[in-house]
Structure formats: structure tokens, C-alpha cells
Amino acid sequence: MAITPLKSDRLYRESSLKHSDITSTKHLAPLDEIVGQDRARHAVEFAMSIKEKGYNIYAIGQNGLGKRTMMMRYLNQHWQSESPVYDWCYVANFHEARSPEVLKLPAGKGNELKKHIEQLMGKLANALPMAFDNEMYYQRAETLKNQLTERQQNVLQGLSETAEKNNVSLTITPQGDYQFVALNGEEPHTEETFDALSHDEQMAFGKVIDKLETELRGIVRQLGEWESEYAEKQKALDEDIAQEVIATQMAPLKKNFADLPDILTFLDAMQADMLEHLDIFLEDSEEQAALAYAALDKKLPRRYQVNVLVSQNDAQAPIVVEDSPSYHNLFGYVENATFKGTVFTDFSLIRSGSLHRANGGVLLMDAIKVLEKPYVWDGIKRALSSRQLSVSALEREVTLSGTVSLDPAPIPLDVKIILFGDYQTYQLLQRYDAEFIELFRVTADFEDDMPRTESTEQQYAKFISSIIHDSHLLHCSRSAIARIIEHSARQADDQNRLSLHSADIANLLRESNYWAHHANANSIGALHVEKALASRNMRVSRLRDSMMQNVENGVTLINTHGTALGQINGLSVLSTSDYSFGLPNRITATTAFGEGEVLDIERSVKLGGRIHSKGVMILSAYLASLLGKTDTIPLKTHLTFEQSYGGVDGDSASMAEFCAIFSAITEAPLRQDIAITGSMNQFGEAQPIGGVNEKIEGFFDVCTLKGPSNTQGVIIPEANIQNLMLRKDVVLAVEKGEFHVYAVSHVSDALALLAGQAAGFGPDHTGTSGLLEVAIDKLNRQRKRQKESSPPHSH
């Protein structure tokens, strides 16, 4: 049965929007979600609806699928958290400075509390010194002082009078000590006058002075007690005055936070601490103030500050994206400060991390970046398992150092973590981390493509409109929308699918917008999209152009006219990081005396990959089933890719290799103006391959360089018809009959087309003679010659 080439309408599927009533994206409502990702969206909705521990999300998919965009749009527009959102603050622990306490406040109340406390400190800094700098205070303090002085003077006066009765004077030394001195009349004895006294007189003075000194010691102890009583009374006076001032100034603050018991408890503790440390409000010396500022136990402004770690502007659950998930960025840290050579830290130097800011909401991160940072993954698992967030120094976690640091109270953690990653990372975590599946129980699997129907094309048009609105680009005309949809189908390698790589579509729109602006157009048209695609291909096609130049110069040997024995043009795809293109390869086969083996030269020299070697083995099996059912094939076949130095892999050349081998065996020449691609199974059936568009276009370009003819074309597997989205120039050449695309379901059809005669085997074989009969006849003659040339066996 003759094989007819495909018609041009099967080589490219135009968008149905070309015939719709859509005029431009200006009249299309943008989508509020990523198109075609229903499976992933349902997974996210499910995970976000469950509050139990462990229902975090791992989003699987290649880069550019719009995973983060879809998540952000869903969370911003559709997700409502049922949990309240709080502000978190660290404040001083007045009993243990190394263990700051944490305060939980309703959203927005943290900064309000901080502002009120700062205002309170400012008022107290003025009010307290004024309260101690007035006549009433001075009078009360003076009264206490006078009472002490009077009591001291009275008791000392009595002692002095007793001493004078015994001719002894009570004096005070320059050092402030009390001293008894014997009197000589009204003047103190000198050493000479005292030595002139009789022994009995000296002894009498000694006894009197000893007795007076004993009495003095008792009085001194009593004076100390009186001074302590005075200090207590003075302190009580100061506290009474300060208590009145502080209570008056703090009353509005307590009233404002009356519904928050934890805040009232903190304010009460602060008030009590202020009364104990009134000196830090009343110190006048700058040096004393500086020391108070730098010390850990007393801080002039710092001791009563409020460190607002997290402040939520509204009651909406926070959505945080962390692009650099280092340990400090995630879990926060404690800063150190230096003051006059002293390094210190306190609760006011605690800094928040992304987990603090996302508490009560969602944190989005890239999985690979998380795993790249030291200690981060362990910290995340620990936080999710304990549902607590501790700010601890990383240095203390990873060293044996006993450095003094803060130990802040932990914060309760209620957060959903969404990790973005590829399937390989997901498998590694599943295999090597038993905790992973317990903490990330929901997988959001993102599709690479979606079905292409009239309704999905309408959705895709709205998706294009959403990108244009988000990026503030020129609007697309109907023809531009249709061209982008067709490009998407090309990217999906399927007429009936659309690529969901939204990043690629967004980049194409931006580049098309540039060319539209460059042409001073009011909107993006199909020509601007074509210009953007052509410009992109030109930027990345240096390797393709270099190889095409080798073909044109004759460095790479390719025939596109005539016929050749044991020689065929196979098709391959070469890829760089951002560009793929097709190029024909000459495949040759030769035969020699042997026992039926097919020697794959690529495999022998280790330039052939495993899949290519498998393809050669499969075609060898089918060849043996055709030619070696009754006896060994008396030939050895050598098979190779000519001028291939970088390695060959894939089985898409197995049909071409089979045809080359059959040509070498039957000595039937093959057409060089037709290239072929496709793999085959052990029954000779053609199997689909990848990169079919690039392969066809690659041979078309070579034919154009070497000299086109109306007989040139390409053979592809029938199953690949649905993958055809060829360039417009190739489609036009097919339409004019200048190039041909043939689709086959069996290798026998390809062999018949290439050799110009029936294969003689295959599902459509009707019993007529063909190449199989020729091959069998040649092999039988070869077997006969071998038997005749073999020496007789001796018995």
C-alpha cells in the first residue's frame, strides 16, 4: 500500500481564537489563579484547611510553572485563617536578666504598648526628679534628718557631760573618730604633763576612759541602728512619693490595657522594679548615667523598653516569602553591642526571623536553598515538631563554648510552611529523612501541561491577560493571543496540549511588548510575537548556526539527493541549556562474513548510551526473527553514526539503523532525500519519539542549504502526528508540495518508501515478493558458499 504524505493542516494546529469574538486582552477579565493547576490547587486548599500538626506542603514541579505565583494568588485572594494573629514582644525579666519574657498581644497592640511605655519613661524622667525637688519633700526629709541628728546629739551630749565630770573630754579626730582625752584643768594633758602625774592618777584616768569607751561603743552601735532606721524611713518616704508619681502616670496605661492580664502583670512588675531602682531616674552624673546605660542589670532607657519582635498591621494572617533561608534569617538572633569597651546584650537586642513574622500564617521557601544552609533543616523540623520558636545563638548550638548569652522564653508557633522543589529533592527527603513525611504530609504536584480545547484556550487567553495586567504591558490583539497559544502547544510538544510554563509565556509577553513599543504600536500583534520569538532564537542559536555552516561547507557529510547502499539520514536533537535544534546524521551499515551479530561501533568505543544500545539490540532481535528463524545469519553487520564524536544516546534512530542494515544485506539502495526518525519494538512497530518538530525542521534546513527538491521529506512514527507544530516555512513548503512528511506505523512501511520497493514483511504484507525475499535468497546463497568452502570433517 502506497504511503501518502501528510497534508499541511496536520502539521500545525491553529488556535480556535482566530475565529472567536475576542478582540484583545483589554476586554478579558484576568484570572485570579494559575490556569491548569487544579490538582495542585485542591492539595493546597486541603492542607490550608487542616490545623493539625504536620500538614505542611511540598510543592513539586519544574522551575517556571508558576508555583509561587499560584500559591500567592490563592493565599491572598481565597485563604482566610481561622486563628487570630498576634504581636509578639520581648520585655525584661526583672528577676532573671538572662531570661527575657515574651508578651502576646492582639495585632497592632505591640507598637502601641511600646509607644505608651516610651511616653511613660519620658514623663517619669521629668516628674520623678521634680517630685524630689520641692519644699514639701525637703521639709519631710529635713525633719527625718533633724530627728536623727537630735537623737545622736542628745546621747553624745550625755556621754560628754559624764566624761567632763571625770575630767575627760570627748573629741572628734580629723578622721571622724570619737576620742577621750584626759584634762589638765580645762586643757587636755600633754605627754609631759600626763607623765608628771602619779601612777595612781594615771591609773584612775585609765579606768575612767576604759569605762567611757565601753559606753561609747554601745552608743556607736545605737547610732548605727538609728541611721539604718533613718535610711529605711528615708527610703519609705522616697517610695511613697515615687509610688504616688508612678501610679499617677501609669494609671492611664493600665486602663488602656485593662483587658490584657499579661500586660497588667508586666506593668505591675515594672512598677515594683522602678521603686527598687529609683536611682536610675535621679542620677545626675553623666558617668553614672553612662554606666547605668551599659550595665546589664540596670539600664536607663533599656530596662523598661518593649522590644516589639513582630508587629502585625492588621488581623490578616501573614504570608511571608523567604528568599534567603539562613539560620539567622529564619529563627532570629541576638545582637551584641559595645559600649566603652564593654560587650553586652539584652532583650532589646533580640531580632526576629521569618518564622516569627510568619507565625499565625504561611512561610514560603525554596527547598534546595533550605537544604543548602547549615543547620536550617534541623531547626525547621525541631520548631515544627515542638510547635515552639526559640531564639538561641547559633554559636551555642554548634560549639562547646560556654559563652554567656540570653535564654529568651520560647514563642508558641502556629505556621504553615510551603516548600518549593523538584521531584528529585522530594525523593531524597522521603528516602533519607524519616521525619519529612510526618511534617510535610501534603504534596502539591504541578502539571507541566494541560489539555487544549476551545474552553481551555479561552482560559489561557485570560491567563495571558492576567500577566499583562500584573506587568503593566501593552494589550495583546486576538492574533497575538492565538500565536502565543500556538507557541504554548509547540512548547508542550503536542497539538492537543498547552504548556503551563508560565515564566516562559511571561518572558515572551515582555519581549513582544518591547518590540511593540519599538514599532510605536498601541498593542501587541502577532508580528511582534514572531519578532520576539525570532530574536530569542537568534540569541541562543550560535551552536546550530555553526553546525549548519559545517553542513554547507561540506565538513559534515550529508547527502540530500540520490540513493546510497547501506546509508541513511537519521535525525537527532541537540540541546543547550536554553535551546534545542535538530540535525541529520549519516548512519551507515556494512556486512561481512560472520554469524549474524550486529556490531554497534558506538557501543564498542563507549560513545553509545544505554538506551541507544538497547535500541540496537531490539532491532537485532527483529532482524533475527525475520532472517534467522531456520539458520544462523551468515553475516556480521557493522553499524555506526558517521562523524559522531560526542556520544549517541536514545533509541529514536533504531528504525533508521534497521533500514540501513537491511539495505546492506539486500544491496538495495536507500533514498538520501528522505530522512527518518523513530524507534521500533521487537515486532517492528514504530514507536513515538521526542523532539519531532526540531528533527523535521533540522532536515528541512539542511535540504534548503544543500539544494531543495520536490521529493525531499521526513519519515516519522504515526504516533507522533499529534506532536507536530512545525514552523510556518516548513508548513508552507509542504502545502506547495516542495517538502513531505510521511507517517508510518511499521518499519516495513519506512523501508518500502526508502528503497522504492515492497518490504515483503510487516502487517500489510500481502504475499508478494519484496526485499525480505531478496534478503533470504542472498543469505541462502551465502550459507551455501560457506558450506562449500568449509573443509570436510575427519572421522
Name the residue with cell 488602656. 256
Q: Is 709 a catalytic residue?
A: no
Residue 621 vs residues 29, 72, 98, 315, 746: alpha-carbon distances, Å: 58, 54, 78, 70, 15
Element (H, E) at 178: strand 178-184
Specify whether the backbone of 414 is left (phi greater than 0), alpha (psi in -120 to 50) or beta.
beta
Task: Specify burial of residue 481 (Cβ count, 10 A radius: 0-12, 13-18, 19+).
Answer: buried
| CA nearest neighbour of 418 among 75, 24, 774 | 75
Q: What is the DSSP string of 500-537?
A: --HHHHHHHHHHHHHHHHHTT-SSB-HHHHHHHHHHHH
Annotated active-site residue in 109, 299, 695, 706: 695
Catalytic residue selected from 652, 654, 745, 748: 652
Residue 341 identity:
G
Burial category of 714 from C-beta neighbours within 10 Å (exposed 0-12, middle 13-18, buried 19 and up): buried
Rounded to 5°, the CA angle 29-30-35 comes to 125
Identity of residue 512: S
d(CA 586, CA 566): 10
Amino acid at 329: N
For Cα atoms 85, 86, 87, give the angle at the middle one, nearest 5 degrees.
Answer: 140
* 532, 515 contact by CB (below 8 A): yes
Measured CA to CA, the distance from residue 181 to residue 190 in angstroms comes to 10
Q: CA angle 145-168-222, nearest 5°?
A: 30
Q: 177-216: buried (b, 16+ CB within 10 Å) or exposed (e) per residue?
A: ebebbbeeeeeebeeeeeeeeeeeeeeebeebbeebeeeb
| Cross-strand bridge partners of residue 450 | 498
Please give the grid coordinates belonging to residue 786.
560457506
Q: Which residue has the cell 540501513?
A: 660
The grid coordinates listed for 579 are: 535551546
Q: Residue 681: CB partners within 8 Å, gap ≥ 6? A: 618, 622, 687
Closest CA to 412 of 447, 446, 386: 386
Enumerate the β-bridge partners of residue 168.
Answer: 182
Q: Do strands 580-593 and 635-641 pair parallel, antiparallel, or not at all (unpaired)?
A: antiparallel
254 is catalytic: no
> What is the Cα–Cα distance from 383 to 438, expressed in whole angstroms?
13
Q: What is the C-alpha to C-alpha distance for residues 795 and 793, in angstroms, rounded to an integer?
A: 7
Q: Quick one: which of 678, 674, 673, 631 has its CA closest to 653?
A: 678
**Of residues 284, 406, 429, the one with CA closest to residue 334:** 406
Distance CA 569, CA 706 (A): 14
Question: Considering only CA atoms, which of 648, 647, 642, 660 is closest in space to residue 556?
Answer: 642
SS3 content of the chain, % helix, strand, coil (to 5): 50, 15, 35
Q: How far is CA 211 from CA 127, 166, 216, 258, 725, in A?
A: 53, 11, 9, 65, 124
Return the DSSP state at 572.
E
Catalytic residues: 652, 695
